[in-house]
Chain A
Amino acid sequence: MAKEIDVNLSTVNIEGLDAELRAALGKNFSGLRCGKTCTLILTDDVSAAEINTARGIALAHDPTKLSPAQQAAQDQAAKLDAQRKAQKGDLDTSKFNDPLVGELAQKIAWLEQEMIALRAGR
């Protein structure tokens, strides 16, 4: 059995709140169930002080605050987007005079086109 604590939150970043509560309560926090209201799922071993801590964290929850995993994913996406924008135009294979490097450039140009097609769902 688990202890379930209901909290009323108008909006919730479920991954963000989950990460905050896991960091604070460790193994005594099993997770969240959020529908019309949010329920904190705690183990039977949780103390009254930990319940208060959990409730306090939930009520102070800022849905705009990202979890470490969400922040890492957002940073990675931004980095990829910046690198994508830095690549202007297709690879010009005619610039490579060495036959072996030219062959490699042809392969890279082909892979670039394949990736563009894959991202476009073609």
Chain B
Amino acid sequence: MAARANRKLVDQLKNGDRNGCAHLVDAYQQRLVGEAVEVFHVGREDAEELVSDTLLAVVRNIHTFEFKHGEGDFHAWVISIFRNKMRDFVRKQATTEGVQQFFDESELAAVEEYSAHEMQIVRAIVRQYEDANREPEDVDGNGVNMKLAVIADVLDRLETWERVLLRCRALDVPYEDIARYTGKPVSQLKVYHARVKKKFIQQLAGYFPELKGNETETTRPH
């Protein structure tokens, strides 16, 4: 994606030029649908709807957008709108069919490497998140948000490169990019990814002492 083209696209939209709509769709529709489907495991129909809402929000709010730091500002803004739409979508799913069903557990990789206790912790956090979403009085989503604070806490305890690796790989940032950010070779990052995940879940376990009891049992893959 050419960053310079973004300035022209923004000018077109701000000036009410209809060509800007086609350019926006060509730049983002396939790309964001791909992200929604591949990274967030949203069904294709929902993904198209979500991307449509995202791009509508871009057009409706284009007059509030300004380039402040550089050519990449517009792309970052579009992605932040996409993230907000995706978050609202996930929150809605959490109140209905549940987050794990939404992310389609069968699509997730086998979990032999995690113990039953560790899987219990994951499910407990997701359940708390779902419950908080179902609280009708929590209109601003603060309670929902707080249920995930523990994840940020545990990430902060990891080494910087471990933190970058986990955060970036969860969103499919290529290993090559992470290697540049961390200064570690790609091969090492690939080997260490599973170990760092294991370290993360073990540290997370410290926050849930009440769930201890069957650490030795290993879950079966789905």
Q: Is the pairing of A and B real?
A: no
Interface residues in chain A, defined as those with a beta carbon under 8 Å from any beta carbon in chain B: none
Interface residues in chain B, defined as those with a beta carbon under 8 Å from any beta carbon in chain A: none
